[in-house]
Amino acid sequence: MHDRRGVSHLRIHGKGNKLRYLPLHPDSAERIHLYLEVAGHRDAPDAPLFQPARRQTGAALTADGVYKIVLSYAAKAQIKVHAFRVHSLRATAATNALEHDADIATVQEWLGHANVSAR
């Protein structure tokens, strides 16, 4: 996490190694700070936010790792997940933001899309 003009942001490395900054709601920033303390990597602002729990190499959690975690929690909650993809989380977040009157250009920027029709 990084402060930019008094607002907490996540630094995102996107496709093609494009760098962008995602502004955080203050409640989200507070929860991420707590997570970083518990996870033990609060003092490493350039480290990946989510790292594997088993192998503590400092590497980022992979899409496959996220997939397995989501499936594990879905099974514990007795939720049947069909055709789930990690990318579905991004699409759901974007849809939720738009349904709550977020500006489409802002959502486009958050997702790192060059134009509104990008998928």
Q: What is the pLDDT of residue 117?
A: 64
Q: Which has the closest alpha carbon to 83: 98, 67, 63? A: 67
* Domain spans in the chain, listed from the N-terminal domain onward: 1-56, 62-119
Question: pLDDT tier at 79 (50, 70, 90 boundaries)?
Answer: confident
Name, of 13-17, 19-23, 51-55, the range with top average pLDDT: 19-23
User: CA of 107: how far to CAs of 87, 100, 102, 117, in Å?
Assistant: 15, 11, 7, 12
Q: What is the pLDDT of residue 96?
A: 92
101 has pLDDT over 90 = yes
Q: What is the pLDDT of residue 31?
A: 94
